[in-house]
Amino acid sequence: MSLLVVGLSHRSAPVSVLERASLSADAQLKLLQDTVAAEPAAEAAVLATCNRIELYADVDKFHAGVAELSTLLAQHSGVGLDELTPYLYVHYEDRAVHHLFSVACGLDSMVVGEGQVLGQIKDSLARAQELHTAGRLLNDLFQQGLRVGKRAHSETGIDRAGQSLVTFGLEQLAAGGDVRAWARGKTALVIGAGSMSSLAAATLARAGVAEIVVANRTFDRAERLARTLTEDEGTDVPARAVPMESVPAELTRADIAVSCTGATGLVLTAEAVAAAVEGRTGAPAVLDEQGPSAVRALPPTSLGTDDGCPLDLPAAQQPGFSVLGEAAVAGMDAATLEQHAAWVDNAGVDRRTAVRRTPEADAELITALAATAATVGRIPERRMPEPVAGLVRPEPVLFLLDLAMPRDVDAAAHRLAGVRLVDIESLAEASADAPMASDVDQVRRIVGDEVAAFGAAQRAAHITPTVVALRMMAADVVANEIARLEGRLPGLDDKHRAEITQTVKRVVDKLLHAPTVRVKQLAAEPGGAGYADALRTLFDLDPETVASVSRADDSTEKNRGPA
């Protein structure tokens, strides 16, 4: 059996795909059960974070394992296999070990060095242990990964290379300024009471906000988090819990809102955010392509023919969308941009009169544009358009940090006046060019050393059932010979029988000691797997005995409780 990981992350897939592929808690449990029920896999674990979904398995066939795991990920995520496949990555054996250890150290995180992922790895292992889908290999792998991550953080300055996603997000909200100075005196609304929301609430409390309000679908959990914050000796920030129905009213009072829930739909729509800002300022919060204004939609241009149109349906449904505007071409690669330009020319769009239309014509054209885009199919990922040169936005009165995947806050809130929204996508862009500390190289060396050590330990463990079977066979030989001796010497007393038995056992142990120690050492080296086969052949060991020892060990590992 061999370790295989199939997954996708912020490094391989756009945020829109990650959102759609995200797995609920129930979906993760079903995925684990279906994976171990599949023929190629004997063990399975799912690592699902805000920016990655990975399926780990112990498989007996590489190609069959990749096909099965990819198919299962597609089935349980709801994203078609053909669409998901281009974004998947595959790691096998030592490369899979190296990947998990790198993840545990924060080297593969959106913000290098963040430590939140260690808790998520621990949760993944506990989930697999509870379902008995983690055997010896995955138990060893994830527990070693946790130790490697802790070692990296304790022995190096990797924490200086990046902060937790929460801290980094707050720094982005503060526009690079001092977070404590920025947060002081503000009211914070935290939506959700899970591990990430709790971390955000604690971080805001330490930053010196004036008040924290916690909203959660389960009110008891919100109360528990609020009570924890209030009783924390390190802060004197008051905290209170509210039901989710109170979020719109609390949003009007809040200066900062952090959301990280497991909801499958939007928690804060653009309309709700706009209403909260208008409730505070008395002015509409919409920002169109020309600058702050009252709520009004810019009409789209004439469509002409739909042949070659590369536009997408979601963009066509947004207020202020224009087929000639930035929102239409944002995120297009060069080929698609060229296709768009050719379509505009061939469609006969009049650039001078494109926006001079009546409201009645606008409605008809928007409907036509939606119908046109619906026939095109999938298009490249869209990014938020760059700000128009010279556009001056008003100072934000509401700061939103969305750490959920799929997103909790409507991306359209990016375009609202008086709002600063930082979400997973904008965090990815902001961290792409972040400088890496010199300690990263040291962490990479630690990962390399630990991968080699893990491989040696696994290879040595691979031969253990064979060594155990050899010693079991030797014990049977000793027992049979002692029984034969008693038949020939019926008058042998207990004292002499015990002495003879002990002598024979010592002889056998001494004969087996050097070969078994040496074969374990040789098996730990690269390419040492063949020594187990040699040992079985030389001593004519029963393959079923060796297999039964392996099954007993695996059963013990799968029945082990959460670490």
Active-site amino acid positions = 50
Cα–Cα distance measured from residue 398 to residue 253, given in angstroms and rounded to the nearest whole number: 9
Cα–Cα distance measured from residue 513 to residue 390, given in angstroms and rounded to the nearest whole number: 80
Residue of 170, 163, 16, 35 lying closest to 84 (CA atoms): 16
* Tokens representing residue 443 in the block: 């962490």
- 196 known ligand binder: yes
- 50 known ligand binder: yes
- 129 known ligand binder: no
Determine the Cα angle at 14 with ends 333 and 444, to 5°.
110
- 120 known ligand binder: yes
- 52 known ligand binder: yes
Give the residues across from 43 on adjacent strands. 58
Looking at this protein, which amino acid is placed at residue 531? Y
| 32 Cα distance to chain centroid | 16
- 412 known ligand binder: no
Cα–Cα distances in angstroms (integers) from residue 84 to residues 70, 139, 179, 520, in the given order: 8, 28, 38, 42
- 197 known ligand binder: yes
Q: What one-character-per-residue DSSP string does 88-138 give? A: -EEEETHHHHHHHHHHHHTTTSSSTT-SHHHHHHHHHHHHHHHTT---HHH
Is the previous residue joined to 406 through a cis bond, with omega within 30 degrees of 0? yes
- 425 known ligand binder: no
- 436 known ligand binder: no
Cα–Cα distances in angstroms (integers) from residue 454 to residues 122, 130, 138, 145, 313, in the given order: 18, 24, 12, 10, 49
Residues 6+ apart with CB under 8 A from 126: 562, 563
Rounded to a whole number of angstroms, the distance between the first and last alpha carbons of the chain is: 24
- 356 known ligand binder: no
| Three-state SS at 240 | strand
Cα–Cα distance measured from residue 430 to residue 432, given in angstroms and rounded to the nearest whole number: 6
Cα–Cα distances in angstroms (integers) from residue 163 to residues 44, 132, 437, in the given order: 30, 34, 12
- 193 known ligand binder: yes
- 218 known ligand binder: no
- 114 known ligand binder: yes
Provide the annotated binding site for NADP(+). 192-197
Provide the annotated binding site for substrate. 49-52, 109, 114-116, 120
